[in-house]
């Protein structure tokens, strides 16, 4: 076996097709698993699209191994390329968007238009009486050029509606290069330009690898979103009560010197009753943002319930009285409400529940002795 065969010969093409099949198989497994778990149309479309890609490359391998080079196989391969390309891009679009009738009409219309263009494939032999090779080239040219139309349509219409725009545009650019190298090699060099052949073997691997990375990154995004929704409060985006309590328990279990700040918005019920729940929600978000900003470098902030928000300070160098006063002052200056705040510091033998309760009691004392003040647990 010569090294040149691994780069330019039929063996190189076979190896390229097999690598693409492996990547496509991985994409199929991921998209099918997502569809079975979540039953979303985007995953179903992606699953079907990679099935068409797989069929396309299996047929290419079969043609390569059997030297089956007929007008019909060339037509089938071209149509499979068009159908799988459109479905792949439809699947990418659906990964990030809900689809309505107009999107189905657009994408499936592109496939139907491909079949309309393919009429020329069957008309050329009747209209032109050149050599077999010339007829074959003329038969395929309309569909080959239609692929460029599809690339440009997808490049300009899909990126604004999806995440990972840069990866997607790079993938389409690679596909454009694949198609360009293929046409130049076939129509100008009779498929004998070795460097264009090499590009035709390597670039499809790059193209499908980029699509695989996009799909994999989307899975990671979904997993992260699911995890974040399970540990954060939907309105304020602070950690929820369960997660906050578990983190406090972890620190207390290791006897680390932490402090708990417990705050409650003053007269919050009156605010809701007089200015509406939307105003109440806006105030909660504003106070939560202040909590998050102040806790960013020294601990974590959470929503304990209703208008109660808490901070676990894990940095022992933080002076809690000054920290709590800064939080109270910012709430008073930057929002239309004030807050009563209490805090407590961990001592050996105190449980996580008791530590939080101590800060709660200190907050209650602040609320019952004038509000809009800071009280240390004693």
Q: What is the pLDDT of residue 363?
A: 95
Burial call 18-53: b when 16+ CB within 10 Å, e when fewer: ebbbebbeebbebbbebbeeeeebbbbbbbbbbbbb
Cα–Cα distance between 78 and 120 in angstroms, integer? 13
Average pLDDT for residues 94-104, to the nearest whole number?
Answer: 86
236 within a domain of the structure (yes/no)? no
Q: What is the pLDDT of residue 46?
A: 86
> Taking the CA of residue 167 as centre, how many other CA atoms within 13 Å lie in the half-sphere pointing to its CB?
17
* 354 and 211 in a common domain: no
Read off the pLDDT of residues 207-231 as tens digits, 9 standing for 90 and up.
999 999 998 888 888 788 888 888 8
Give me the chain's average pLDDT, please. Answer: 88
107 within a domain of the structure (yes/no)? yes
316 within a domain of the structure (yes/no)? yes
Q: Considering 231, 256, 290, which residue would you say is the last residue of a domain?
A: 231
Q: What is the pLDDT of residue 163?
A: 82
Of the candidate ranges 3-12, 67-76, 140-149, 178-187, the one whose mean pLDDT is the lowest: 3-12
* 306 and 197 in a common domain: no
Q: How many CB atoms neighbour CB 249 within 10 A?
A: 15
Read off the pLDDT of residues 242-298 as tens digits, 9 standing for 90 and up.
999 999 999 999 999 999 999 999 999 999 889 998 999 999 999 999 999 999 989
Range of the domain at 16: 3-231
* 252 and 215 in a common domain: no
DSSP state of 172: H
Q: How many domains does the chain have?
A: 2
């Amino acid at each position: 076996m010569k090294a040149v065969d691994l780069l330019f010969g039929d063996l190189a093409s076979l190896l390229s097709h097999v690598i693409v099949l492996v990547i496509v198989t991985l994409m199929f497994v991921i998209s099918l698993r997502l569809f079975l778990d979540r039953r979303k149309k985007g995953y179903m479309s992606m699953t079907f699209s990679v099935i068409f890609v797989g069929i396309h490359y299996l047929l290419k391998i079969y043609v390569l191994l059997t030297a089956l080079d007929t007008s019909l196989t060339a037509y089938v391969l071209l149509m499979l390329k068009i159908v799988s390309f459109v479905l792949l891009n439809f699947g990418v679009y659906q990964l990030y968007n809900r689809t309505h009738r107009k999107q189905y009409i657009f994408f499936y219309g592109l496939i139907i238009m491909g079949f309309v263009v393919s009429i020329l494939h069957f008309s050329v032999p009747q209209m032109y009486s050149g050599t077999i090779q010339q007829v074959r080239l003329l038969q395929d040219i309309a569909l080959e050029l239609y692929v460029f139309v599809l690339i440009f349509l997808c490049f300009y219409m899909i990126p604004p509606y999806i995440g990972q725009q840069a990866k997607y545009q790079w993938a389409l650019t690679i596909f454009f290069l694949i198609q360009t190298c293929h046409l130049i090699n076939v129509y100008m060099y009779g498929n004998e330009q070795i460097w264009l052949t090499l590009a035709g073997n390597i670039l499809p691997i790059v193209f499908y690898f980029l699509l695989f990375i996009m799909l994999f990154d989307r899975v990671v995004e979904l997993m992260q979103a699911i995890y974040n929704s399970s540990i954060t409060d939907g309105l304020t985006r602070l950690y929820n009560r369960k997660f906050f309590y578990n983190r406090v328990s972890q620190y207390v279990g290791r006897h680390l010197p932490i402090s708990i700040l417990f705050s409650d918005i003053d007269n919050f019920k009156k605010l809701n009753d007089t200015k509406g729940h939307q105003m109440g929600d806006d105030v909660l978000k504003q106070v939560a943002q202040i909590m998050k900003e102040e806790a960013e470098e020294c601990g974590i902030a959470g929503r304990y319930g209703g208008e109660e928000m808490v901070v676990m300070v894990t940095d022992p160098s933080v002076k809690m009285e000054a920290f709590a006063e800064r939080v109270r002052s910012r709430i008073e200056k930057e929002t239309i409400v004030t807050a009563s705040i209490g805090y407590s510091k961990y001592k050996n033998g105190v449980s996580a529940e008791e530590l939080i309760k101590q800060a709660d009691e200190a907050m209650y004392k602040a609320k019952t002795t004038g509000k809009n003040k800071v009280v240390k647990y004693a």
